[in-house]
Amino acid sequence: MEKLIITAAICGAEVTKENNPSVPYTVEEIGREAEAAYKAGASIIHLHVREDDGTPTQSKERFKACIDEIKKRCPDVIVQPSTGGAVGMTDEERLQPVELNPEMATLDCGTLNFGGDEIFVNTENTIKNFANVMNEKNVKPEIEVFDKGMVDLAIRYHKQGFIKAPMHFDFVLGVQMDATVRDLAYLVHSLPEGSTWTVAGVGRHEIPMAVAAIIMGGHARVGFEDNVYLSKGVLAKSNAELVEKVARISREVGREVATPDEARKILGLK
């Protein structure tokens, strides 16, 4: 079995210091959390950025400042900006970090209910436009999937030439689709041959889904964007604690953790 790629989603756009005081907002905080997660075993930093007061932003300048800080601390880590942004942002706002030519960026392949009255909108034209921009800049999309229909859409857009193979998927479970091994297996078995995948379980599902990925041969995402607890009722002191937990479990069952360069090879980035 190939080595495990651990992605650290260090801050997200919705979680705040009220949820966990260690959630990073400033450039220095984001750099520090990314470095600690990297040293704990993360080869990918999934990046949202904030203003100093915690307001989510897709500002190209803010992304550049944060990426520069991360790369100064851990030059070989893969930085994966989010094009999801926050609910209500325009397509033009959301695409800004792709202008910085990162190795990877996220590509959400469908619209979903995000809680309450919040709807995260990704129209067919939005998805195709984002894919075209990423293709032009040679940015590998991580296809964000919240239910089975988004897998089907990604395959359709691949057949139409908008998404290149081999495709890499991130299953975000516990939002719109249940976070169970049954559901994860269903998604995995729906993928085209040669695809790679990561799973992100939201809230209490984070570690169980990571463990399932370890056993099933996929990859795992953890971090404050999805979950702020190390265990029931115990806040994680850092993203690194969550990464360390998954890395330890993986090594204990005989699966080593990938370095950034090993992750690049697995994902076809080099």
* Residue located via tokens 């859409």: 153
> What is the residue-averaged pLDDT of the chain?
96
| Contact of 142 with 198, CB cutoff 8 Å | yes
In this prediction, residue 202 carries a pLDDT of 98
Residues 6+ apart with CB under 8 A from 70: 30, 31, 34, 35, 45, 47, 77, 79
> What CATH number was assigned to the domain covering residues 6-267?
3.20.20.70
Global confidence as pTM: 0.97
The confidence score (pLDDT) of residue 118 equals 86
pLDDT tens digits for range 5-40: 999 999 999 999 999 999 999 999 999 999 999 999
Q: What is the per-residue pLDDT for 32? A: 98
Q: Residue 29's pLDDT is what?
A: 98
Question: What per-residue confidence (pLDDT) applies to 199?
Answer: 98
Map out the domains of the chain as residue ranges: 6-267
Residue 257 pLDDT: 98
Q: What are phi and psi of 259, to 5 degrees?
A: -80, 165
State the pLDDT at residue 86. Answer: 80
pLDDT digits (tens, 9 = 90+) for 212-227: 999 999 999 999 999 9
pLDDT for 216 equals: 98
What pLDDT score does 85 carry? 82
Written as six digits, the tokens of 110 are 């469908």
Residues of the chain below pLDDT 70: none
Strands in the chain per DSSP E: 6-9, 44-47, 49-50, 56-57, 78-81, 104-108, 112-115, 118-120, 140-145, 168-173, 196-201, 219-222, 229-231, 234-235
